Amino acid sequence: MLAPDPAARQPLLRLAGVHTHIGAYHILHGVDLQVARGELAVLLGRNGAGKTTTLRTIMGLWRASSGSIHFDGHDITRLATPAIARAGIAYVPENMAVFSDLTVRENLVLAARNGPPDTARVDWICSFFPALRTFWHRPAGNLSGGQKQMVAIARAMVEPRTLLLVDEPTKGLAPAIVHSLMAAFRELKAQGTTILLVEQNVQVVRALGDTASVMDDGHVVHAGPMAVLAGDAALQQRLLGLSLDPHL
Amino acid sequence: MSIAPVAPPADSQLPAIRRDIAPLLLVPLLMLAMLPLVGNLATWLTLSVAGLAMGMMIFIMASGLTLVFGLMNVINFGHGAFIAAGAFSATLVLLPLRGWLEMDSLTLNLGVLALAIVVAMLVTGLLGWAFERLLIQPVYGQHLKQILVTMGGMIVAEQLIHVVWGAETIAVPLPTALRGAFLLGDAAIDKYRLVAVAIGMVVFVAMYLILNRTKIGLLVRAGVEHGEMVEALGYRIRRLFVMVFAAGASLAGLGGVMWGLYKETLTAAMGGEIMVMLFIVIIIGGLGSVGGCFIGALLIALVANYAGFLAPNVALVSSIVLMVSVLLWRPAGLYATGRG
């Protein structure tokens, strides 16, 4: 079990001065980030800004070389990845990492650590992603990119988790599938799951996100309510090099 | 564990799954193709059963190697040490109980053999555990160091066998009940080869069931493809690594016992001598694929047997020719795993 850390109690997730090196490369340069319990936080930024590295560092897949990461009041900076996952964090990587040799059912069985997946919860997941029911006994490797993304998200949803880290889930997907994903995130959030979502498609998340943080060159250069960023075209242009307003 | 919370729709509504059965047909096709070339049904049957038996023993020895490579991405040139260690450990039972082996009692013979196999698998499993902790763990992800360290480990293991059992070749008695052959028409089928086929099938079926019907099996299969994701789901893959490595060593130990009894002599170098063939088998099968390893082992042994009968000069290179042919057809082996 994790040792309680009373000093870090307020935000569910707090990164303070996190630096990450990958080999000789210094990727994160002192990331400060907070995610409050129950919110959907969106992490934005250009390619190479350090968003994926931030999520992987939280999961312990890459080690923070300095700084601290607190989750639910506990210091998880030095924990191994399995311990971080067991603390209540689910992770959906950018490449989905679906087990292609395993069926959809087996992917979900593996993600359910506490015994067989709950029938009602699986039905609930399938209400967002009906294709999972259709391809239940099919190898996940035979599915399309969108269907694989559904499996990856479903795997993270199969048991209740406190925090969900999702890395660019809508990349290259058809609008109908993106709509299903967003509906699932909205429902998860309504049930109290905290979500940290890395996304390039800001149009998709502007209505969904509570807060928006923007990264650039390994730093968080902006953090605040999504409404502030969404309502300030000049700020969007400066931070992201684009406008969130729909193109006419 | 299993779940069935959602009733899938009838298969007729779904696109058909494209099953890759071509490699499965290779063994029967090869056997049928050789029948007219061999020309004599009894000779063909004898060669085929001998090839299948040898293939099963090779599969038992190679299955652990392919699993270790597939899951752990470790090139273990020291695998042969477990084969030799298994065979020599079995002598701790076989030699003191030689009297029971030579009695004309199937029960006693098989009892001693089973006990020898259990001892060999336990000893090699423990050795595998220690080997992984001491030698493999510091060199994960470093292939060149893995080759050097595991080859070094095998040399040390061979010398330790010399220290414990001496440098002389040791003769091991085949159980009396397993000597001789059944006559099927004019074909002579060695009893021991039938036992080897049976044990090989049991190992294959057990591995298939464990890999496909248990959560441990799911973890191994998932770990072969995305070890990092398995960790992100909350499973300690390092523990899985040790378990698989020890299981692979145990299987090598079992193979060593079978191989030693087949040859009826043991040398410390017996594992190292067969390593090249084992690597050819797992390359043909597709690195990390147990099913591919099974088919590859049978193909290698059958081709060697048929070639030895039809063209003895070609037999020396038959394995290499087979490997090149398979790789020209399927560059990643018969069944490529997700690792690619």
Helix (H) or strand (E) holding B45: helix B41-72
Contact B215 A110 (CB under 8 A): yes
Res A173: pLDDT? 85
Q: How many CA atoms does the CB half-sphere of B268 hold within 13 Å?
A: 15
A22 touches chain B (CB under 8 A): no
Taking an 8 Å cut-off on Cβ atoms, the answer to whether B14 and A136 are in contact is no
Is the model more confident about B72 or about B8?
Answer: B72
Which region among A170-174, B80-84, B92-96, B124-128 has the lowest average model confidence (pLDDT)?
A: A170-174
Q: What's the number of CA atoms in the CB half-sphere (13 Å) around residue A74?
A: 15
Mind telling me how many Å the CA of A203 is from chain B's nearest CA?
29
- Taking residues A153-166, report their average pLDDT: 95
Q: And the tokens for A106? A: 């087996």
- pLDDT tens for each residue of A183-219: 999 999 999 999 999 987 778 888 899 999 999 999 9
Q: Cα separation of B78 and B152, whole Å?
A: 8
Is a pLDDT exceeding 80 seen at residue B230?
yes
Is residue B65 predicted with pLDDT exceeding 50?
Answer: yes
Least-confidence region, from A79-93, B11-25, B50-64, B222-236: B11-25
pLDDT at A248 over 80: no
* pTM assigned to the model: 0.80
Q: What is the pLDDT of residue A217?
A: 92
Note the pLDDT of residue A242.
63
- Distance from the A230 Cα atom to the nearest Cα atom in chain B, whole angstroms: 33
Structure-derived torsion over alpha carbons of residues B104, B109, B110, B114, reported in degrees to the nearest 10: 180
CA distances from A158 to A52, A118, A136, A154, B9 (A): 23, 8, 14, 6, 21
Beta strands in B224-313 (DSSP E): 265-266
- Alpha carbon dihedral B184, B186, B190, B195, in 10-degree steps, equals -20
Is A221 in the B-facing interface, judged by CB distances under 8 Å? Answer: no
Which pLDDT score, from 0 to 100, does residue B338 have?
53
Q: How confident is the model at residue B271 (pLDDT cuts 50, 70, 90)?
A: very high
Nearest CB neighbour to A85, from listed B5, B224, B233: B233
Instruction: Please judge whether A139 and B225 are an interchain contact, meaning their C-beta atoms are less than 8 angstroms apart.
Output: no
Of chain B, the percentage scoring pLDDT greater than 70 comes to 93
Please report the ipTM that was assigned to this predicted complex. Answer: 0.90
List, in order, residues 6 or more apart from B129 with CB less than 8 Å away.
Answer: B242, B245, B246, B249
Residue with tokens 């770990």: B223
Contact A82 B218 (CB under 8 A): no
Q: Answer yes or no: do B225 and A82 touch at CB < 8 A.
A: no
Q: pLDDT at position B18, please? A: 58
Distance in angstroms (rounded) separating the CA atoms of residues B248 and B211: 14
Q: Is A4 on the interface with B (CB under 8 A)?
A: no
Structure tokens at B212: 């496909």
pLDDT of B11 reads 42
Question: What local confidence, expressed as pLDDT, does residue B17 receive?
Answer: 52
Chain A residues 227-246 with CB within 8 Å of chain B: none
How many whole angstroms separate alpha carbon B189 and alpha carbon A238? 82
pLDDT value at position A8?
A: 42
Tokens 């191989």 appear where?
B259
Q: What is the mean pLDDT of chain B?
A: 90
- Confirm if A115 and A109 have CB atoms less than 8 A apart: no
CATH number for B47? 1.10.3470
A63 has a chain B CB within 8 A of its CB: no
Residue B339 lies in a domain: no
- Provide the shortest C-alpha distance from residue A164 to chain B (in Å): 12
For range B124-128, the mean pLDDT: 97
Note whether A157 and A151 are within 8 A (CB). Answer: no
Does A223 contact chain B (CB < 8 Å)?
no
What per-residue confidence (pLDDT) applies to B4? 40
Enumerate helices (H) and strands (E) in chain A, giving the number of each: 10, 10
Q: How far apart are CA B73 and CA B256, in angstroms?
A: 23
Total of domains in chain B: 1
pLDDT recorded at residue B78? 94
Share of chain B above pLDDT 90, in %: 74
Phi, psi values for residue A55, rounded to 5°: -65, -45
Confidence of residue B20 (pLDDT cuts 50, 70, 90): confident
Q: Do A97 and B228 make contact, defined as CB atoms within 8 angstroms?
A: yes
A85 to chain B: which residues are within 8 Å by CB? 231-234
Mean pLDDT of chain A: 90
**Whether A86 contacts B234, CB under 8 Å:** yes
In this prediction, residues B117-130 reach a mean pLDDT of: 97
pLDDT at B13: 45
**CB distance A81–B6 less than 8 Å?**
no
Q: How far are the Cα atoms of A17, A34, A38, A115, B214 from residue A41, in angstroms, in the given order? A: 19, 9, 9, 30, 38
Angle at A192 between CA A191 and CA A197, to 5 degrees: 105
Band of pLDDT at residue A120, cut at 50, 70 and 90:
very high
pLDDT band at A46; cut points 50, 70, 90: confident
In sequence order, what are the residues at sequence separation of 6 or more whose Cβ sits closer than 8 angstroms to the Cβ of residue A131? A143, A147, A150
Enumerate the residues of chain A whose CB falls inside 8 A of the CB of residue B218.
102, 106, 109-110
Range from A232-236, B45-49, B125-129, B321-325 carrying the lowest mean pLDDT: A232-236
* Between B53 and B340, the higher pLDDT residue: B53
Q: Is residue B289 part of a domain?
A: yes
Strand partners, B257: none
Question: Mind listing the pLDDT tens digit for each residue in B136-158?
Answer: 989 988 889 999 999 999 999 99
Q: How confident is the model at residue B14 (pLDDT cuts 50, 70, 90)?
A: very low
Which residues in A lie closer than 8 A to residue B234 (C-beta atoms)?
A: 82, 85-86, 113
Tell me chain B's radius of gyration from C-alpha atoms.
21
User: H-helix or E-strand containing B340?
Assistant: none
pLDDT at A3: 52
Model confidence at B238, pLDDT cuts 50, 70, 90, reads confident
A99 in B contact zone (CB under 8 Å):
yes
